[in-house]
Amino acid sequence: MASKHYSNLDLINLVDSFPNAATHPVFHAERLGELSILVHDAHTLGYILPSVTAVLKDTKLSGTHWGFSGKVITLAGETVEERSENIRKTTESWRENGIFDVLRGWRNELYTVYSPKGHEYFRLERSACALFGVVTYGASVHMTAYTASPLKIWVPRRNPEKPTYGGLLDNTVAGGISSGTSVFETLVRESEEEASFPENLIREKARAVGHVSYFYQRMKTAGGEEGLFQPEVQYVYDLEVGNNVIPKPCDDEVQDFKLMDVGQVKAELAKGSFKPNCSLVLLDFFIRHGIITPENEPDYIEIGSRLHRLLEFPTR
């Protein structure tokens, strides 16, 4: 049986998989009609599956911190600390009672959920974010390290023992932004931990080149329940390096690094060898560096616009 060949648009569709209100308003309305929404004032913070809503309504499992009005759900608490504590009690109860498989990946790492204008609304355990469909910044600082002449990209292979996407290819550096940590400081830390890049190299040479955003409906390979919602933003950096700079694994995240030319990276993308959201970062890199062009990519405009999806939720 022939292996699947992914087009660039196929790679987008794998990750940006929730219907877009701007381009598919009927599908979006139909899908939204099946869900509950987490709300602060008049602003939607996340989408919640019926299976999660049913558990939220069980006060023995979820406490009395939740308000329900039709499909609208609210979280009690007047301050960031109160709301964070209330949702912590709920999710820890779920974990202790084995309610959701996704919580088996509990990280003891808090992500910030924002209300409009980048104000912190509450902090939530990383593994629980998809249960509430809130915007996350997990593995959200992504950097591509490359040599310029000829253009080659340093590509790591994930540790095969990792519970999610084990053995797949990845971006040179990628790390989640924990609550209270800046984007760039996250990049500095992750560059050292994952690739052994010295701090001074990143501070002097890493360039912010934009972001990638999408609305992912989680597949089984992501771990936990299938179909949970993960709208996500990734901050994107480039790092041009000389032949004397060679990344090396420093923790158990990465098995090894390989310097690949453009043809090799394209071939691995087409085989689906990369962690799905990392494919999008590479497509963005190829567009910015003139490798994907209107002349060689028939879906150029759709791909470019969907790499930078305008999410319907507040962001940082």
105-123 pLDDT tens trace: 999 999 999 988 888 999 9
**Rounded distance, CA 140 to CA 33, Å?**
29
Give tens-digit pLDDT for 37-68. 999 988 999 999 999 999 999 999 999 999 99
Asked if the structure places residue 25 within a domain, the reply is no
Q: Are residues 222 and 256 in the same domain?
A: yes
pLDDT band of residue 194 (cuts 50, 70, 90) is: very high
- What pTM value is reported for the model? 0.92
Q: Are residues 148 and 291 in the same domain?
A: yes
Domain that holds residue 94: 35-128
Q: Are residues 55 and 200 in the same domain?
A: no
Which position has the token pair 């001074």? 200
Q: Are residues 239 and 170 in the same domain?
A: yes
Domain tally, the chain:
2
Check whether 153 has a pLDDT greater than 70. Answer: yes
CATH number of the domain that 46 lies in? 3.30.750.160
**Rounded distance, CA 214 to CA 218, Å?**
12
**Rounded distance, CA 230 to CA 131, Å?**
9
Out of 82, 105, 128, pick the residue that ends a domain.
128
